Structure 1
Amino acid sequence: MTLDIAADLIGLLADTTTEPRPDIQLEALTLAVAADLPVLLWGEPGIGKTAALTQLAATLDLPLTTVIASVHEPTDFSGLPVIGADPAVHGVPMAPPDWAVRLANSGRGLLFLDELSTAPPAVQAALLRLVLERRVGALTLPPGVRIVAAANPRGSAADGWELSAPLANRFVHLQWTYDHEVVVRGLGGTWPRAALPTLDRARLGEAVAYARRGVTGMLTVRPKLVHQLPQSETKRGGPWPSPRTWEMAVRLIAFATAAGTSREVLSMLVRGVVGDGPGLELLATLDRMDLPDPEELLADPAGAVLPGRGDLRQAVLQGIVEAVRSRADRKRWEAAWILLVKALDGGTPDLVVVPAGQLAELRRDDWPMPVGVERLAGAMTVARMAA
């Protein structure tokens, strides 16, 4: 009787609810899951990686299969040899373990490979085919199965190993941290709700073209980044650029574009496959692709819309000056001044100092001072005083 009451109390404690709540970690995870890319969550013990995966599986209505990588033998992933009636004729098939058979029979599910950084090198080698090809022995997991893993940094893992470079290069690496407010509300019974991204069917073709153009455009001018194996063993166990991870980046950008994902989420994902440096370069390339054409701005300066971000606005202004320099006439020169005045609205004075100076140098003797230039003069004075 006492245990029955205890069970009732435990049930009440487990009775929680969810709420829609902005969470870029969760958004990045669900988008990578939707894109059918293996994800590896890195974080210290006890911060909720396993709980997040359990909640994700429940929200998406996917059966969760947890496999602790470190307590399995390599044959648990490569398959156990089973000798049949006539091995010389039929060979020796590699039988998959029971968890793989259950996933295959279900046709869908979330395979959670936990404690990946405590798996010895032989087990990591056996996991290569599972993570990339979804094969376990002679069995191929169905397309409805998604793979997510979790690992602790070597310093906080029990008998931890560095992740091998081939295995690390197959994952989207996400640094998992806890949010104080999320934890407090969760302990109160309300956790963030995971949801797969909503893809705009009308934008699918555009999203693929955009992703391919961004990645290929960057690698055309930065060929050394196509494959760059890190020198240190620790960095090899994280995200780094290779043809495989650039292909993953294309898929993630396409999904993020079709879903209208925020730049913060896209940044986490891109840096999670090719690393921080190459990832930031790729994001800068994508930003430049989104910049308006200087010629279109000069043709209609009154109706022009400039980027809100300061760095992008400055890049647009520099492009406008270069466009006028390449084909200077009074109408284009005056249009450029209108755009510089417009750049002051919602911006900072220092953004216009350099382009205004360069534009002033292009003035010809018979061109009068443009309307509104006095506003720029005041802004440039303020900027110089602040400097």
Structure 2
Amino acid sequence: MSVNATTVSAGEALRVLEAGWAAQAAGGLTASWMLHGRPGVGKTEVVQTLARRIGADLFDLRLTTIEPQDLRGLPFFDHERARTVWYRPEDLPDGDGPAILFLDELTAAAPALQPTVYGLLQERRVGRHRLPDSVLIVAAGNRVEDGAIAYDMGTALSDRLIHVIVQASAEDWLKTYAVPAGIHPSVAAFIRTRPDLLETTEDSLRRGQMIACTPRSWTRVSRIMDTVPDRALRQVMVAGTVGAAPAAEFALLADEIAATVQVDAMLATPRRERAAMYPRTLHGLTALVYGLIGAATRENLSTAIEILADLRGLGGQGYSGLPVSELASFGFELLIGRALERGWEEVFGQSPDYAAYAAERQAAGLP
């Protein structure tokens, strides 16, 4: 059966779960949630991020690796009371603080496990153990059509959940995930210019290909770029992660960026000497913006603001046809978000370059 729920990005799914948690904490809604989506689109990362944001302990149960007794517990005979009692498993939350019980790979779990899961999802209990009110229950899994191991979800299970379909979105991934996750600038620049290659599972299935591009695989490519200096070896690893064709296209961009983007050098160079250090291509400028955000600290933030401000003025200096103003505005948006997250707002307040940028946007009627 198809999942006839709303399809959202990973960032939107996070906001939905945050609202669900707020409603549950206020006593207005107690529900269990189900995130559907293709492998690698970010379902697990959504739950992990939610746990960090609300300060919750995360209890991650991979349902494909457990048996019913792992949830129900094990029985023993109480001779004094002449009855059988159960040892409760330690993998279930029982404290008063915020907690998330994450039932991952629900749709791939053995059918024999489902009756035990029913009680958790609907009644918030297993046997005599009842989950505290401070526990949010979130499940996740792939669908049958995603090419993963999955069973159709029966109505008895489906009716116990609020369903959300998570779909990869390049814009959302770049804005809400790439910077906090420290994604390599070349990966971020590549996805910004080739958003169609962020997630290619459906196309790969149609072509009969095993390897597909996913947000998870591009995160792995980022780690490869950070840790493997040998270009030839790195290229084999990248091809084995996202497929040979996307890897070949990515390699050309990565080589260009490596030759032209000098983030650390620009941050250390006096302003009057920086003009010649700006890359001359859209790929290079995009990577510069992401690299600059990733390298920003409280100490160099004012310099990063200068570099973005000067980027806006490059349009008449051999950069005609390139969206330098739009890239600078995008960079300021990301840099402001990073500053707010780290508590560096006063640096923006003290920057004449940012004041001039903000005044110009206000005069143009832009937010």
Name the TM-score class by shorter chain.
0.3 to 0.5
* TM-score normalized with structure 1 length: 0.40
* TM-score normalized with structure 2 length: 0.42
